[in-house]
Structure 1
């Protein structure tokens, strides 16, 4: 089953297909056609009835009526996929589009990167497949906020693989603060979803010094949703009880989204609370609390 890291990486390339071209051409030295036209294609290749091949992302360079080059992007976090399947992807897409095909494999794990970087003897005479693999050692450690702002996708991936270096996390946070308001939360969520737990904690620590009210993407989503729903219900019904119920539900949503255990007694305490100020404090603290017990202890009156 795809992980949050897998989904975030796929979404980064889906949001800006040109990124795959830049990685292949600028980071890996692959010669690609010079064209500003890069568009996403269907990720399902049909080779014959009832036989579909599903890739993570497919994009085509050049006009739809005459594609010049195709790029398949695969996110592989382990060695579970047979590399020959990647050769099959390339061959089928070449037959479909009648143009050259590159396969770009993004591997946050070094052993997985080495696994997919080996040439594949397909068994078909003359067809020896070679994927272009971007492993953790190939992702630049972006420590300059200006460079991070110019390449936020690579900066987010740098946090994913090098984020234990505080300078990299700080450069990323400094960069996204200067991005448009609708872009900054998106890139922060990408980096947060892809990062290891200790890197997530570092990101949250750095973010506390900013003006953002909630630091976890999950908390941001549910914080805003919980307050909006609570306020709307309070205005409609004119009852503080409605606001408290919605705020309590938002606290539980945040804790659940972060994977924290919520024992029955603590769930009951949160649900029964009618103090809206206390609930809002719990809701904000839920973004970084290490446990539900810490959440309540730290805010106990």
Structure 2
């Protein structure tokens, strides 16, 4: 399920395309060819592979022509399907742009980063993909405000990787100093990402600092935004006490519907690709989940599950023992 953290991390690289090659070069020691331009390229990988495959982000380096391409994948948890699709992303992209490619996996969690870094052996002799992983050990700790101003995206990435460490509050202070001159949309996003990445102790320290009035933010806009954010947190706590039980019950029902949907598809031998799984997990509409669950009983492919239109009628039933109806299932054609 797409989360604020996942989408926020992608926006860091989208807002500053040079962040990807700089991480590969400076943090991971990869030799890159000379380039003068970095731009975000289409992440649709449809020319060689099915349309359901889509990378998180593609950054293309150019020196008059494409000289290097980077597949950027944000990984917040283990997902075995990714280890199947990452090699496909690289080979498809290389075929499309006609230049060397590399896989950069951004994993702020240390355990997830270690899992991502495991080699992927494709079976052909010597054909082993070694993902390049930017985990907490590779992402720098940025506490210097001047450096944060030069590269606010890297500063936010530092906060997301190290925010729960003792230095988290100092990193957050550097980020606050850096975002004052940014446009409102980036400022709001970067402040939210930074504060949400802090440990509970660091957040309490930061809240106490705000309430004391001893810290002066760089701009009035930042000051107002952080105050509004704190107000939303306080309101959220109050609403959480009143609505927590109701939300918990709703989430429990949705989790049950998701589990049932995947169980039915699996029992019927219908393959669920990475993109389809992501679409299903992102759904929070209980009525939609129920519709998919009903369709899962009769569809022939996972793509058919998402097609608009009425649910296919179940197969005819015939009488069984004791006069009970017995469903006659039409054999599913092999694909």
TM-score by length of 1: 0.66
Does 2:204 match 1:180? no
Q: Does the CA-based 8 Å contact 1:56-1:74 persist in structure 2?
A: yes
Q: Over alpha carbons, which structure has the higher Rg?
A: 2
Kindly tell me: are residues 56 and 258 of structure 1, through their superposed partners in 2, closer, same or farther at Cα, counting changes over 3 Å?
farther
Kindly tell me: are residues 24 and 119 of structure 1, through their superposed partners in 2, closer, same or farther at Cα, counting changes over 3 Å?
same
Secondary structure of the corresponding residue to residue 108 of structure 1: coil
The residue aligned with 1:81 is 80
Q: Does the CA-based 8 Å contact 1:149-1:176 persist in structure 2?
A: no
Higher alpha-carbon deviation: 110-119 or 76-85: 76-85
The residue aligned with 1:38 is 38
The residue aligned with 2:67 is 68
How far does residue 199 in structure 1 lie from its aligned partner after superposition? 4.1
Kindly tell me: are residues 257 and 181 of structure 1, through their superposed partners in 2, closer, same or farther at Cα, counting changes over 3 Å?
farther
Secondary structure of the corresponding residue to residue 80 of structure 2: coil
RMSD value over aligned CA atoms?
3.1
Kindly tell me: are residues 148 and 80 of structure 1, through their superposed partners in 2, closer, same or farther at Cα, counting changes over 3 Å?
same
Query: What is the 5 A alignment of 1:71-150?
Result: 71-82=70-81, 83-150=83-150
Higher alpha-carbon deviation: 10-19 or 183-192: 183-192
Aligned length: 232
Q: In the aligned structure 2, how far is the partner of 1:73 from the partner of 1:258?
A: 38
Q: Does the CA-based 8 Å contact 1:74-1:106 persist in structure 2?
A: yes
Structure 1 unaligned blocks of 5 or more: 224-250, 265-301
Kindly tell me: are residues 165 and 254 of structure 1, through their superposed partners in 2, closer, same or farther at Cα, counting changes over 3 Å?
closer
Q: Does the CA-based 8 Å contact 1:71-1:101 persist in structure 2?
A: yes
The residue aligned with 1:210 is 216
Kindly tell me: are residues 49 and 28 of structure 1, through their superposed partners in 2, closer, same or farther at Cα, counting changes over 3 Å?
closer
Q: In the aligned structure 2, how far is the partner of 1:257 from the partner of 1:44?
A: 40
Q: In the aligned structure 2, how far is the partner of 1:86 from the partner of 1:153?
A: 25
CA deviations on 1:63-115 (whole Å, 9 max, x unpaired) are: 6x831110011111111134232112111111111111111101112121111
Q: In the aligned structure 2, how far is the partner of 1:45 from the partner of 1:195?
A: 36
Q: Does the CA-based 8 Å contact 1:255-1:262 persist in structure 2?
A: no
Q: Does the CA-based 8 Å contact 1:46-1:53 persist in structure 2?
A: yes
Q: In the aligned structure 1, how far is the partner of 2:209 from the partner of 2:157?
A: 18
The residue aligned with 1:261 is 241
Q: In the aligned structure 2, how far is the partner of 1:152 from the partner of 1:37?
A: 19
Q: In the aligned structure 1, how far is the partner of 2:20 from the partner of 2:49?
A: 30
Q: In the aligned structure 1, how far is the partner of 2:148 from the partner of 2:19?
A: 14
Q: In the aligned structure 2, how far is the partner of 1:257 from the partner of 1:68?
A: 50
Kindly tell me: are residues 200 and 128 of structure 1, through their superposed partners in 2, closer, same or farther at Cα, counting changes over 3 Å?
same
Secondary structure of the corresponding residue to residue 123 of structure 1: coil
